[in-house]
Amino acid sequence: MDPLPDLTTLSDDELKKLIAQLEQEEDEISYRRRLLHGRLDILRAERTARLKKTGGHVDVDVLSDILASKVPPPAPRDEQ
């Protein structure tokens, strides 16, 4: 993570752009985290199915339920 610049030297526009840039980065990281959580959910469901010996694979309906919560990537934020 980059250190913060000297805030006293930033103009209002530069501060506004820096905030927008960091908000966009936060949105992208959050989206990536949600994707990883989805993958973990699928892998855990597969492991549970194997431990229960239900044929060794996750039921397609269960996978559909897991994937149904998938959301599109965040749209770029408009500068405010």
Q: Residue 73's pLDDT is what?
A: 58
The reported pLDDT for the residue numbered 52 is 81
Q: Tens-of-pLDDT digits for all 80 residues of the chain?
A: 678 888 899 999 999 999 999 999 999 999 999 888 888 888 888 788 788 876 666 666 766 666 676 555 566 676 54
The pLDDT value recorded for residue 33 is 92
Q: Supply the DSSP string of the chain, one letter for each residue.
A: -PPPP-GGG--HHHHHHHHHHHHHHHHHHHHHHHHHHHHHHHHHHHHHHHHTTSSSS--HHHHHHHHHT--PPPPPPPP-
| pTM (predicted TM-score) | 0.63
